[in-house]
Amino acid sequence: MPSVSLAPDLEKPEEYKTLEVELSQTLYDECERQAVPLPHGCLAGSCGSCRIEVVEGADNLKPASLIEQNTIDALKEELVERYGAEFVEGKEIRLACRARLVKDGKVKFRPFK
């Protein structure tokens, strides 16, 4: 069964919890269904409140849609202005309300500042 490991608390990003999940559901919905609430806002891919950093298994997620990618690009621009390019360099940022597990594998992620 596919699974996600997540660090739901930004204060303790090294502590991951593993959940078994259903394919094709969003990471947000699966976490919510299993009583692990994530930060969120619009749940439509446009506000960026549910941003996460995927630290493992990004290839097991469906590629970002245009709306998700546009939101991620805007977020990255904002973060680069605020913290510098190295803050986002090499990081796989996705939106939990849009990212769907499409392969039977594992995804490890944490909320992103």
Regarding 3 and contact with ligand FES (CB under 6 A), the answer is no
Q: How far is the CB of 45 from ligand FES (least distance, A)?
A: 5
Separation of alpha carbons 15 and 57, rounded Å: 17
Interacting positions 58-87 with ligand FES (CB under 6 A): 71
Regarding 95 and contact with ligand FES (CB under 6 A), the answer is yes
Interacting positions 36-55 with ligand FES (CB under 6 A): 40-43, 45-50
Cα–Cα nearest to 17, from 9, 29, 25 = 9
Separation of alpha carbons 65 and 63, rounded Å: 6
